[in-house]
Amino acid sequence: MNDKADATEADLALKQKHRAMWAQGDYPALASELIPDLGAILVDACGIKPRHRVLDVGAGAGNAAIPAAMMDAEVVASDLTPEMFDAGRRQAADRGVELEWKEGDAEALPFPDNEFDVVMSCLGVMFAPHHQAGADELVRVCKPEGTIGLLSWTPEGFIGKMFAAMKPFAPPPPPGAQPPPLWGSEDHVRGGSSATGSPMSTQQSRL
């Protein structure tokens, strides 16, 4: 097996582990307890309006997608772990809204180019291992004059420090994989740090 095939196999194995991890616990209950307001904050920051077509990447149980649907937007909630969708459907029904739930890899979104007015991610796309691939997909599916909005943990915050503390005890990631909290660095996202790699150029990012 060549190096490229080895890397592809390692990426697949990592994503399978991610899916199993998120499916195993009760993340929807955790999110509703620890970050109940973040989704609505992101929706407000994105300026979502009625009839906007909105994609939530790494949507989980819809903590951002459901508030977007409550704005009378047409919302698709996409996640690598569809096991969380049932909890999201129940929450959406409780709030009297409907949205589409679609399994999808943030690095290979199952949607056409220029499909959405708003593409957002609330603590979701940051966990995709290859930041450039994830960023390319956010840009690809967003309309040219659309909005991309991300909410991420920062390297300097508690979660970022926790990831750094755990790194020596974790198995090595696949080649090219990057730490999730880097998405919380504006320099990283906008292209100001060539050492770490930049998922979006200044021209591409619409944050």
Q: What is the pLDDT of residues 149-197, one digit of tens each?
A: 999 989 888 776 877 787 787 777 777 888 889 999 989 988 743 333 4
Does the model's pTM come out above 0.75?
yes
Q: What is the pLDDT of residues 56-85, one digit of tens each?
A: 999 999 999 999 999 999 999 999 999 999
Which two structure tokens, joined as six digits, stand for 184? 């919380």
Instruction: For CA atoms 156, 160, 161, 165, give the dihedral sign.
Output: negative
Q: Residue 1: pLDDT band by 50, 70, 90 thresholds?
A: very low
HEC secondary structure over 115-142: CEEEEEEECCHHHCCCHHHHHHHHHHHE
Find the radius of gyration of the CA atoms of the chain: 16
Question: Do the strands 53-57 and 116-122 form a parallel or antiparallel pair, or are they unpaired?
Answer: parallel
* pLDDT for residue 122 is more than 50: yes
Which two structure tokens, joined as six digits, stand for 20? 């199993």
Query: In the beta sheet, which residues pair with residue 103?
Result: 79
Q: Domain 3-190, what fold? A: Rossmann fold (3.40.50)
Instruction: Please choose, from the candidates 125, 108, 129, the residue with its C-alpha nearest in 3D space to the C-alpha of residue 177.
Output: 129
What is the average pLDDT value for the chain, to the nearest integer? 83
Q: Please compute the mean of the pLDDT values over residues 92-109 and round it to a whole number.
A: 97
pLDDT for the residue numbered 202: 31
Q: Please compute the mean of the pLDDT values over residues 26-53 and round it to a whole number.
A: 85
* Every domain of the chain and the residues it spans: 3-190
pLDDT for the residue numbered 192: 46
Most confident of 17-21, 24-28, 63-67: 63-67
Instruction: Please choose, from the candidates 188, 185, 204, the residue with its C-alpha nearest in 3D space to the C-alpha of residue 196.
Output: 188
Percent of the chain exceeding pLDDT 90 equals: 58
* pLDDT for residue 18 is more than 50: yes
pLDDT for the residue numbered 9: 73
